[in-house]
């Protein structure tokens, strides 16, 4: 499972009003980090909360500047103390990983909870992980399920994948591979590589769906194309069961695939290994 730390892009309907913050976002999106850093620094000095959070993201990830966890923590904490959900969540990620600060799941849970209480999907998801694994809070599968469902209501694909895994394993829920497949598919359709890999595994073993190595190979191939580190081995194993015609059909399905509606765009980071189903 991966912890999620968000840039928290804001989408608005109609004609966008240009300004320094919007210019900074545009620069960040096109990879012009020097311009983004300059604009967000200026806005952060004027106490612009979202810009302070963007500045934290830039320092945390070393975008156009030297990676500096101390600076990232400083700006996240300033924005988090003002009640800004994305900053609260990202501060929790830093503390939970021990990046620039002593590692503490309990302290991370405090910040995730604040973000979750603001109905922030990444905070709900990250707090759900802690409850599922019993890190910093008592292990509580029911609470993990509740939090994942809250994040899913905002179409957050990683929460769909984690809840699918809980259905598959029967953790706090009746074991149900059909429901696991449904959730993996929802997340996979959004481009979530962990869900794509796990959905491929469900097809390979015929769990919750009829066994289908073409579908398995197709989902493994998609996960590889989108950067999944585990998919290549699974793809190659599935390929051994396919004829040349079936491999060609898998390749056709990969070419035809298009992602469905996405949740709030995020930078997804975390120290925990992606789990297989």
- Closest listed residue to residue 8, CA positions, set 76, 99, 62: 76
Q: What is the pLDDT of residue 11?
A: 29
Report how far residue 3's alpha carbon sits from residue 187's, in angstroms, rounded to the nearest whole number. 16
SS3 content of the chain, % helix, strand, coil (to 5): 65, 0, 35
> Which stretches within 98-156 are classed as H helix?
105-117, 121-133, 141-152
Task: Give yes or no for residue 13 having a pLDDT over 80.
Answer: no
> Are 31 and 50 within 8 A, CB to CB?
no
Tens-place pLDDT, residues 98-157 = 999 999 999 999 999 999 999 999 999 999 999 999 999 999 999 999 999 999 999 999
The string of pLDDT tens digits covering residues 162-218 is 999 999 999 999 999 999 999 999 999 999 999 999 999 999 999 999 999 999 999
Q: State the pLDDT at residue 275.
A: 36
The predicted pLDDT at position 1 comes to 59
Is 80 exceeded by the pLDDT of residue 28? Answer: yes
User: What pLDDT shows up at residue 3?
Assistant: 59
- pLDDT at residue 274 tops 70: no
Q: Say which residues have a Cβ less than 8 Å from residue 242's Cβ, sequence separation at least 6.
A: 213, 214, 217, 250
Domains of the chain, CATH where assigned: 4-11+18-154 (1.25.40.10)
- Rounded Cα distance between 167 and 156, Å, is 17
pLDDT at residue 17 is higher than 90 = no
Mean pLDDT of all residues belonging to the chain: 89
What's residue 199's pLDDT? 97
pLDDT at 260: 82
pLDDT at 8 over 70: no
CA distance linking residue 77 with residue 88, whole number of Å: 7
CA distance 129 to 162: 8
Q: Show the tokens assigned to 195.
A: 């869900």
Alpha helices in 153-212 (DSSP H): 157-169, 177-189, 193-205
Decide if pLDDT at 267 tops 90.
no
Helix (H) or strand (E) holding 234: helix 231-239
DSSP secondary structure letters along 71-94? HHHHHHHHHHHTT-HHHHHHHHHH
Q: Which residues pair with 4 in a beta bridge?
A: 268
- Name the DSSP letter for residue 57: H
Q: How confident is the model at residue 2 (pLDDT cuts 50, 70, 90)?
A: low
CB 64 within 8 A of CB 34: yes
pLDDT band at residue 5, thresholds of 50, 70 and 90? low
Q: Kindly report whether the global pTM for this prediction surpasses the value 0.75.
A: yes
Q: How far is CA 116 from CA 36, 44, 158, in A?
A: 28, 24, 15
Question: Are 110 and 75 in contact, with CB atoms under 8 Å apart?
Answer: no
First to last CA, the chain: 11
What band does 4 get if pLDDT is binned at 50, 70 and 90?
Answer: low
The reported pLDDT for the residue numbered 230 is 85
pLDDT digits (tens, 9 = 90+) for 51-102: 999 999 999 999 999 999 999 999 999 999 999 999 999 999 999 999 999 9
Token pair belonging to 213: 């190595």
Calpha distance 95→233 (Å, rounded)? 33
Residue of higher predicted confidence among 252 and 269? 252
Nearest C-alpha neighbor of 196 from the set 167, 157, 170, 244: 157
Over residues 36-57, mean pLDDT: 96
- The answer to whether residue 262 scores a pLDDT higher than 70 is no
């Amino acid at each position: 499972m991966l912890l999620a730390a968000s840039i928290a892009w804001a989408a608005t309907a109609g004609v966008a009003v240009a300004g320094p913050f919007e210019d900074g976002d545009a620069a960040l999106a096109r990879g012009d980090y020097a311009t983004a850093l300059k604009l967000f620094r200026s806005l952060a000095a004027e106490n612009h909360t979202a810009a302070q959070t963007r500045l934290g993201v830039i320092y945390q990830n070393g975008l156009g500047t030297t990676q500096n966890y101390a600076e990232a923590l400083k700006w996240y904490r300033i924005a988090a103390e003002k009640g800004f959900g994305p900053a609260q969540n990202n501060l929790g990620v830093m503390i939970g990983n021990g990046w620039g600060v002593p590692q503490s799941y309990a302290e991370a849970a405090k910040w995730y909870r604040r973000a979750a209480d603001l109905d922030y999907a990444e905070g709900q998801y990250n707090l759900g992980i802690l409850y599922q694994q019993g890190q910093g809070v008592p292990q509580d599968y029911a609470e993990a399920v509740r939090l994942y469902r809250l994040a899913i209501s905002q179409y957050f694909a990683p929460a769909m994948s984690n809840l699918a895994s809980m259905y598959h394993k029967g953790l706090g829920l009746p074991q149900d591979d059909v429901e696991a497949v449904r959730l993996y598919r929802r997340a996979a359709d959004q481009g979530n590589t962990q869900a794509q890999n796990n959905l491929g595994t469900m097809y390979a073993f015929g769990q919750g769906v009829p066994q289908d190595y073409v579908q398995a190979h197709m989902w493994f191939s998609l996960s590889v194309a989108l950067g999944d580190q585990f998919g290549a081995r699974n793809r190659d194993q599935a390929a051994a069961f396919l004829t040349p015609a079936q491999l060609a059909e898998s390749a056709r399905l990969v070419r035809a695939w298009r992602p469905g509606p996405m949740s709030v765009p995020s930078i997804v980071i975390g120290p925990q290994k992606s789990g297989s189903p």
